[in-house]
Amino acid sequence: MSAHVWKLKNRILEWHERPLLAGVLNVTPDSFSDGGRYLDPEQALDRALEMEAEGADIIDLGGESTRPGAALISAEVEIARILPVVRRLQGRLTIPLSIDTWKADVAVAALDEGAEIINDVSAGRWDRLLWSAVAQYRAGYILMHALDQPATMQKEPHYTDVSGEILDFLAKFLARAEENGLALETMVCDPGFGFGKTLTHNLTLLRDLAIFQKLRRPLVVGLSRKSFLKLIGGSESLEITNELAHVWAAARGAAIWRVHDVPPALRAARLAGAFGRGADTA
């Protein structure tokens, strides 16, 4: 299976012209970026449809904050947050719906209602039933590296070789997921910017991003509004810093960008696509 193809239950995502955009929609009171803004299911519905109209290729819905220091919540609370939104999106959203969760019960509840992707920050480590749930539904799966759970992941993170260690981690857990019933063509990988990484770690990962093409699976990057980019460019210049980082990542193989602001990301993605086509666009 090509590294430019991602197989979901009911469709296949392919891309050649530009990176795909996964629009972030948090229905949480405490997410670092948009916590509290879309707790009302009708507002969340409107926001999802707005991002689709703006050019998003995927909507990534989350009911539990994964910001540094965030406490875990129960599956029951998470389901109560996301399910009203998932149900409202049925028959309205034409692009795939992704659910940002590491819990099997949450995944099953959402997949039962039509979600097509599970975005798992834990790489299957925090709920041993998750992989079997994803495999049962033949859903798309995002396998991400995080050093630890959100409450503790930023407490003195240490690596000897951050890029090499994360590459090895993703390769190992791709193989384990396959052994547990997930088809390779249903999986994509995310190195987990900001999840147990210092400023230096994040910049090193960004510099070395091309090595993750060795995995031969599409690569997701979550750079949008990350604090390390604010440290570099300042909050007032975050939009341009974000899009410069996105274009840099695309040139090194990043196929999917997880974004909060779709219009500027779409402009940058089109630019990255034009760069990739080179002189043929003239």
DSSP 200-267: HHHHHHHHTGGGGGGG-S-EEE--TT-HHHHHHH-GGGHHHHHHHHHHHHHHTTEEEEEES-HHHHHH
Are 253 and 212 contacting, i.e. CB atoms less than 8 angstroms apart? yes
Write down the catalytic residue from 81, 103, 217, 258: 258
Q: Which helix (H) or strand (E) holds 172?
A: helix 162-179
Which residues, 6+ apart, have CB-to-CB distance to 41 below 8 Å? 27, 84, 85, 88
Residue 258 is a catalytic residue: yes
What distance in Å separates the CA atoms of residue 205 and residue 30, rounded to the nearest whole number? 27
Residue 103 is a catalytic residue: no
Write down the catalytic residue from 11, 92, 226, 252: 226
What distance in Å separates the CA atoms of residue 223 and residue 243, rounded to the nearest whole number? 9
Coil vs helix vs strand at 93: coil
Beta-bridge partners for 53? none
**CA distances from residue 282 to 32, 229, 274, 277, 279 in whole angstroms, order as listed:** 41, 32, 9, 10, 6
By annotation, the residues acting in catalysis are 226, 258
